[in-house]
């Protein structure tokens, strides 16, 4: 029987903005929150470019009401945030910390009171350190613990949040966290990375089961980062590199989620680094999705050479090529190749060097970037792709992982010394855009 989601459904298409817990909340030792792997990783010398951490970040935990008012001022229809597992279950298993859950209760109720739909993500990279000490995502048990955590959150908030995504960008957790080691927990081992990717997907399937059986009335899904992968040249070795990169980034996840298997070419390439998969795992992973969230920033250029391929498009402050056409292409390709559920563009945005100038930030490039990606989304929709929302990354400048505070993605400027928030021109533009396009995709 289909679950009753009618009472909390958001409009058919939402304009929103996104953040994540560790990047904005701060208050890392308050109200019973325990350490996560990012608290530990930030203490590793050299891990974070500016030596900073998320101890205070945007101090959002203490400035919740003002930040909610800011969202209303921006006319957001939806706000995407994540829950910090170690606030809710400090040791990642067993005892629930109700004071941690209270914060998300206040956040969700505050959003609803302002007419903003809450879009919740369960895991945006901040694993409780206590679970890491027991093997983290390389241990199958962590997937079972994740399902318990999903059940706790589902019970408490599943009557009011419009949407629950299990994971944000599992590729990043697997590859950057466990292969290149540039993200927490800083492991450098490809076999571990692939086992982690499997456990993340397994935990997703188990969490969906838990959310369904606890009666959560939210739409349920997962958020992936994806890009079209183009070969640097038409030489056979570059084409093969592009095919493999696409396999690891896109097909690995979508084949598992939507077809119930891993792509055979990638498995063949991995050889003994392929993950251990138990008999019913694929059935669990292919759990049925109400939506897939897509985080899109740039295309990828693949080359068999060890030096990075030359870039031919303009780049953002992250050095990422600006390629809105890549988003149209990606949406069309997913629509063509997979039995896709509705898609939500759950992140899109850009870091640029911003300057405060008499209380204004004239971030023309960011506005242009966002506008062009919205147009790119609309082009794909015009060709039949079912897209249900667009979220700017990010609502405000925040802790950009290994970059610390050196990269600013916000449409709202944050002065980290005073915590003063200032609307950038991109925020003003987005506010007016939302005002003019609120009902653009509403069914007649």
Smallest gap from Cβ 89 to ligand IFM, in A, equals: 21
Contact between 397 and ligand IFM per CB under 6 A: no
Smallest gap from Cβ 78 to ligand IFM, in A, equals: 17
DSSP of 237-258, one letter per residue?
A: HHHHHHHHHHIIIIIHHHIIII
How would you class 64 by CB atoms within 10 Å of its CB: exposed for 0-12, middle for 13-18, buried for 19 or more? middle
Question: Which parts of 84-126 fold into alpha helices (H)?
Answer: 85-88, 98-113
Contact between 433 and ligand IFM per CB under 6 A: no
Give dist(CA 88, CA 84) in Å, integer. Answer: 7
Contact between 25 and ligand IFM per CB under 6 A: no
Give dist(CA 226, CA 327) in Å, integer. Answer: 9
Site for ligand IFM in 155-214 (CB under 6 A): 169
Of 167 and 282, CB closest to ligand IFM: 167
Would residue 375 show up in a list of annotated catalytic residues for this protein?
Answer: no
Smallest gap from Cβ 57 to ligand IFM, in A, equals: 12
* Of 153, 137, 160, 176, nearest in space to 82 by CA: 153
Q: 361 CB contacts (<8 Å, ≥6 apart)?
A: 354, 355, 413, 422, 424, 425
Site for ligand IFM in 33-92 (CB under 6 A): none
Site for ligand IFM in 319-348 (CB under 6 A): 347
CB 388 within 8 A of CB 344: yes
Instruction: Count the residues in the chain.
Output: 444
Contact between 393 and ligand IFM per CB under 6 A: yes
Binding mask 117-156 for ligand IFM (x = CB under 6 A): ----------------------------------------
Site for ligand IFM in 399-418 (CB under 6 A): 400, 409
Would residue 347 show up in a list of annotated catalytic residues for this protein?
Answer: yes
Pairing label, strands 412-415, 420-423? antiparallel
Q: Under DSSP, is residue 87 helix (H, G, I), strand (E, B) or coil?
A: helix
Of 369 and 393, CB closest to ligand IFM: 393
Smallest gap from Cβ 234 to ligand IFM, in A, equals: 30
Q: Which of 25, 169, 245, 400 is catalytic?
A: 169
Smallest gap from Cβ 73 to ligand IFM, in A, equals: 23
Q: Which of 321, 329, 347, 400 is catalytic?
A: 347
Peptide bond into 185 cis (omega under 30): yes
Interface residue with ligand IFM among 10, 17, 20, 221 (CB under 6 A) is: 20
- Distances from the Cα of 374 to the Cα of 204, 344, 437, angstroms: 29, 12, 11
**Contact residues: ligand IFM, CB under 6 A:** 20, 23, 169, 295, 347, 393, 400, 409
Active site residues: 169, 347
């Amino acid at each position: 029987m289909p679950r009753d989601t009618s009472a909390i459904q958001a409009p058919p298409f939402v304009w929103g903005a996104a953040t994540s817990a560790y990047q904005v909340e701060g208050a890392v030792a308050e109200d019973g929150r325990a350490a996560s792997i990012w608290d530990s990783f930030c203490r590793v010398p050299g891990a974070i470019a500016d030596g900073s951490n998320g101890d205070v970040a945007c101090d959002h935990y203490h400035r919740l009401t003002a930040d909610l008012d800011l969202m209303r001022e921006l006319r957001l229809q939806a706000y995407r945030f994540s829950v910090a597992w170690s606030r809710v279950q400090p040791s990642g298993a067993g005892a629930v910390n109700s004071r941690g859950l209270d914060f998300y209760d206040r956040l969700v109720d505050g959003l609803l009171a302002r007419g903003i739909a809450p879009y919740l993500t369960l895991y945006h990279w901040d694993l409780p350190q206590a679970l890491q000490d027991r093997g983290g995502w390389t241990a199958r048990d962590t997937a079972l613990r994740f399902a318990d955590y999903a059940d706790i959150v589902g019970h408490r908030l599943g009557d009011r949040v419009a949407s629950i995504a299990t994971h944000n960008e599992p590729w990043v957790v697997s590859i950057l966290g466990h292969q290149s080691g540039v993200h927490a927990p800083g492991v450098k081992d490809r076999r571990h990375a692939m086992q982690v990717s499997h456990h993340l997907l397994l935990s997703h399937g188990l969490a969906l089961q838990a959310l369904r059986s606890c009666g959560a009335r939210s739409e349920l899904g997962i958020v992936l980062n994806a890009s079209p992968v183009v070969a640097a040249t038409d030489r056979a070795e570059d084409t093969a590199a592009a095919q493999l990169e696409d396999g690891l980034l896109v097909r690995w996840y979508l084949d598992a989620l939507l077809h119930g298997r891993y792509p055979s070419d990638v498995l063949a390439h991995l050889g003994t680094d392929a993950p251990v998969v138990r008999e019913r795992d694929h059935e669990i992973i292919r759990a049925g999705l109400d939506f897939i969230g897509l985080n899109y920033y740039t295309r990828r250029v693949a080359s068999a050479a060890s030096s990075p391929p030359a870039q031919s498009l303009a780049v953002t402050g992250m050095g990422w090529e600006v390629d809105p056409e890549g988003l149209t292409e990606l949406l069309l390709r997913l629509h063509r190749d997979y039995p896709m559920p509705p898609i939500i563009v759950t992140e899109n945005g850009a870091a640029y060097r911003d300057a405060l100038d008499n209380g204004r930030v004239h971030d023309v490039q960011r506005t242009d970037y966002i506008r062009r990606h919205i147009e790119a989304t609309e082009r794909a929709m015009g060709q039949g792709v079912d897209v249900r929302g667009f979220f700017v990354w990010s609502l405000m400048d925040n802790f950009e992982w290994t970059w610390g505070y050196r990269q600013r993605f916000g449409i709202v400027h944050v002065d980290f010394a005073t915590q003063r928030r200032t609307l950038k021109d991109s925020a003003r533009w987005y506010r007016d855009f939302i005002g003019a396009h609120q009902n653009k995709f509403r069914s007649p």
